[in-house]
Structure 1
């Protein structure tokens, strides 16, 4: 995945997986696709993990059943998120 606003030494590994999860103490599980990107910043000895949860199937009896349906595909949102990701204060990582 492209993360253009980071130093050339940064590396990004991305993947997609699915899991079935229930919210709170509910019995009903919802299938969720998880988009994840691990960004390694060797210059400051730090890794950053960015994730986006994308509901694939929501059980009608789940408390999430009334949640709004996203208007854009999650893949597009995740790509846009990574392309726009910036670190504005490198002091966050200490003086290195």
Structure 2
């Protein structure tokens, strides 16, 4: 099953089956925000986004859904930059 899997708790994570199926092979890591609080890990068949500020984790699988990760990163950066308690360093 391809799609977008959202984990709204920093202790929740992709299942063992999801890790074995999608999160394998070569990967690239990219850090965003102050102190690298938002991490993107890109695999051949998936993209995994970890937001350590609010604990959200999102697994994007399949070529079509994997491309959605970049829109989500933009949304997260904008969200954190404009929060009342947000860091000005996101700007």
Category of TM-score, reference length = shorter chain: 0.3 to 0.5
Point out the structure with the larger strand share.
1
Q: Which has the larger radius of gyration?
A: 1
TM-score, normalised by the number of residues in structure 1: 0.32
Point out the structure with the larger helix share.
2
TM-score, normalised by the number of residues in structure 2: 0.33
